[in-house]
Amino acid sequence: MSIRKIVKYGSKSLREKSKEVHKISKKIQILVEDLYDTMYSLNGVGLAAPQIGENLRVFVIDTGVDQKSMNPITFINPKILKTEGAINSYEGCLSFPDAYTNVRRHKYVKVKALDIKGRPFIIEVNDGSLLARAIQHEFDHLEGILFIDHSRNRFEADKILTEKGLNPIDANYLLDEKEMEEEIQNTVQNEEKPVD
């Protein structure tokens, strides 16, 4: 349909909780097409409706690496049913041009949503795959949470944001994820131990 303008970090709308979709109307179908068109035009992996100025609980993901392996998935009114484990994820966001930093994500995620035809589905993704991390990243957008709120090193993230001409992290939004951080640290330490 059309390529939409991306809402950039610093906009208040990125911090607002999105509204449920009550009917999958023609307007919602066009919104989904616009999300895909915009995401593909920027070589993104996922895009949430708030990132194009629509405060609705909709996001799209495609973790395919080329035209042959495209795997578009539409999520309408998603609910995260379960999460487990923790991993380091090096992430960026289309609302943060060229800014990447290390964040905490769950290794496993189970999510329920509606597809573009209004049919419910459930996806379970394990092993900290790109899809698992993308689902969490895009779901956060619907809650007014940004990837930098999961930063493993706030000062490193602030330095990167400043270099890209973006505002530093607002400490009020940083998430307390001590248990996740401990699990990531333990995993790293166990991987570094020599095998006899």
What are the catalytic residues?
A: 138
Are the C-beta atoms of 70 and 62 separated by less than 8 Å?
yes
Q: How many CA atoms lie within 13 A of 187 on its CB side?
A: 14
For 126, residues 6+ apart whose C-beta sits below 8 A from its C-beta are: 107, 108, 132
- CA 56 to chain centroid, in Å, comes to 15
Candidates 84, 81, 82, 44; CA nearest to 64 is 44
- Contact in structure between 38 and 90 (CB atoms under 8 Å): no
Q: 177 and 184 in contact (C-beta within 8 Å)?
A: no
What's the length of the chain? 196
Helix (H, G, I), strand (E, B) or coil at 135: helix
Q: Tell me the HSE value of 131 on the side-chain side, using a 13 A CA sphere.
A: 19
